[in-house]
Amino acid sequence: MMEIEMPKIHPSQQDIDLIDILWRQDIDLGAGREVFDYCQRQKEHELQQQREQEEDKRLQQQREQEKALLAQLQLDEETGEFVPRLATSGQPLQTATSAAPSQVIQTTSSCLDAVVALAPNSSHIMMKSDPPALTQLPLLTAPLPSQRTSPDLEQAWMELLSLPELQQCLNMQMEDTREQTGGYLPTNTTPEVQDPNYSFYPLPNLAEVASNTADVCPPEFINTFEESFPNIAPLDHLNQMTLKAPDLNTHFSADTFCDIFYPDVVHTKVTSVTLPCGQGNGGNSLAEIPNKPTFTPMELQDLSPGDTFDRDNKPEIMTECPDSDSGVSVEASSYSSSPEKSMYGDRSFGGYSDSDMDEMDSNPGSAQSDYSEMFSLSFQPDGLQTPLSVLPQQRDKEPKHAKTEPDDETGHSESPFTKDKKRRRSEKRLSRDEQRAKALQIPFTVDMIIDLPVDDFNEMMSKHQLNEAQLALVRDIRRRGKNKVAAQNCRKRKMENITELEYDLDSLKEEKERLQTEKTKNDSSLRKMKQQLNTLYLEVFGLLRDEEGKPYSPLEYSLQQTTDGTVFLVPRIKKTLSKKKDS
DNA sequence: CTTCAATGTCATTCC
DNA sequence: AAGGAATGACATTGA
């Protein structure tokens, strides 16, 4: 898999990087790493640091620009777009409620920074993300380090976080959780107020993560890492070692995310499961990754800031969230006048509805190809309902913009995974709404929802207490189900009509042919009869004699027959004379 | 990569 | 008025 192209007199950058990788993987190179041009590496390191400083400056400027932009924009509730803020309208986007604990505010601001840092075009980042979404972040960010795909990945993030249904569902679960726990979260009652606290949950990029981890990871590891991925994209040969990036992130993610998201609140919980970032030997973990995904589902849950909200009391939240993003329809968003709708309401932002969510089910994005392989061991098609179960959906989001399916192109044609994927696809195709219903824990089967008569349906609904999102989903499922059948019938009818019309057309063609044949026969017959008549006429005319016994001239006389069958010999002259008189 | 058929979905109209 | 059928239009998906 790895191709080592060593034999050059002066090792190139790629060679050095490759040596680094090998070294960190504890692969015996037969000599110390310094042997492979230590001085050059020092220079490179200095250059790298210089570059980083410039990059930091740039990021700083970008953050300021973003903040300025935020201050000037206002959310359009109807279109879900940001529009230039009017002087007197609306609340400041970043208004923190008085009820919000200080650490939440702190989280928000730090998150903003992190988000801004993440996204080069970070205006896109101004999407909503409700707190439960945080539960997804570590796991979803796991593949982040493979930053050569960062544009795709960022886009995937944008899309994921922008999903109205995701927001809606998560938001509702947030509310449920808050009700049960009386949690520490801000007790906002209006979406507008809620927005600022939930709007910016960061997706730390690699650089950010690395810097944040500096206090727990040995500097040399960081340096090594930074050197190894100085400009990650160009390292093509690293593409064949895709395993490393996720691992790096797994090491960073625990503390990093906690620090960024919940500097105070979450830390205690997370540290109990913090991955051994501080061990300092990145090489070992790098080498382990391909065979041993660092994140197990449980770990992912533990690392999820979101479960801080109430992990103990409502573990099912975790199982619900992954799918719940797909469970809420556009209408759900609109019904609840949720902040998400105002952010990306209706279809203005690509029209993400529950159907859009489903698309994620079957289309792994390019950015996650490595990712899917990484988690192929722990991934359950739909069974575990661990946070990982969000993966297929998230991955499905991709193809809209990255229509390739790198999973099939990675060269890892491991049949089990491929088969599993195909199987999941077919399952997904059969049970889209079922997955949604499952995600929102709808207590009915989709068939019941669709097929029951209205009265029975209403009765069934009245027997269960469903929240708004569930109701909306049930309505959507029923509407879609009915419409799906209607569409099938319609197409069937259309096809039948077409078939019938084609049959009619054939019949008419045959009829036409038959009539033409008949016409030809009749014409022929008519011609024959005319001929016979003419012959008969001449014969009869030839037999006629005048008083002197001479035959009548055909020029002067003609035979004419009246309606009663009597035949007269009529002189033609009179006829011509009368004609002259008329004229 | 393009094309095409099948299918799902949405919007709209009508009953 | 609500629910559903019908259907055109569009998007997605897989071959």
Residue A496 neighbours by CB under 8 Å, 6+ apart: none
User: Which pairs from A2-7 meet CB under 8 Å and 24+ separation?
Assistant: A2/A237, A2/A240, A2/A241, A3/A237, A3/A240, A5/A237
- Nucleotide with minimal C1' distance from the CA of A454 is C3
The tokens describing A138, both together, are: 């570590």
Nearest nucleotide, C1' to the C-alpha of A476? B9
| Residue A356 beta carbon within 7 A of nucleic strand B | no
What distance in Å separates the CA atoms of residue A582 and residue A578, rounded to the nearest whole number?
6
Q: Residue range A138-164: average pLDDT?
A: 39
Residue of higher predicted confidence among A86 and A534:
A534
Give tens-digit pLDDT for A558-583.
Answer: 888 899 988 888 888 655 555 554 54
CA of A15 to C1' of B1 (A): 35
Q: Which nucleotide is nearest to A489 (CA to C1')?
A: C6
HEC profile for A457-490? HHHHHHCCCCCHHHHHHHHHHHHHHHHHHHHHHH
A355: the nucleotide nearest its CA (via C1') is B9
Residues 454-513 (A) near nucleic chain B, CB < 7 A = 476, 479-480, 483-484, 487-488, 491
Q: Which nucleotides of C are covered by protein (CB under 7 A)?
A: 3-9, 12-14
A96, A118, A112, A105: which is closest to A265 by C-alpha? A105
d(CA A194, CA A186) in angstroms, rounded, equals: 8
Question: Could you report the per-residue pLDDT of A507-537, keeping only the tens digit for each?
Answer: 999 999 999 999 999 999 999 999 999 999 8
Q: How far apart are CA A195 and CA A127, in angstroms?
A: 10
Average pLDDT over residues A380-400: 33
- Per residue in A270-316, pLDDT (tens digit) is 333 333 333 333 333 333 333 333 333 333 333 333 333 333 333 33
Answer whether any strand B atom is within 7 A of the Cβ of A285. Answer: no
Count CB neighbours of A332 within 10 A: 30
Instruction: Give how far Cα A558 sits from Cα of A87, A166, A529, A569, A570, Å.
Output: 108, 101, 19, 6, 5
Q: Which residue has the higher pLDDT, A153 or A185?
A: A153
Q: Whole-model pTM?
A: 0.36
Asked if strand B comes closer than 7 Å to A528 Cβ, the answer is no
Radius of gyration of the CA atoms of chain A, in A: 41
Of A208-222, A297-311, A376-390, A490-504, the range with the highest mean pLDDT is A490-504
Q: What is the mean pLDDT of residues A430-441?
A: 75
Q: What is the pLDDT of residue A521?
A: 97
**Residue A493 pLDDT:** 86
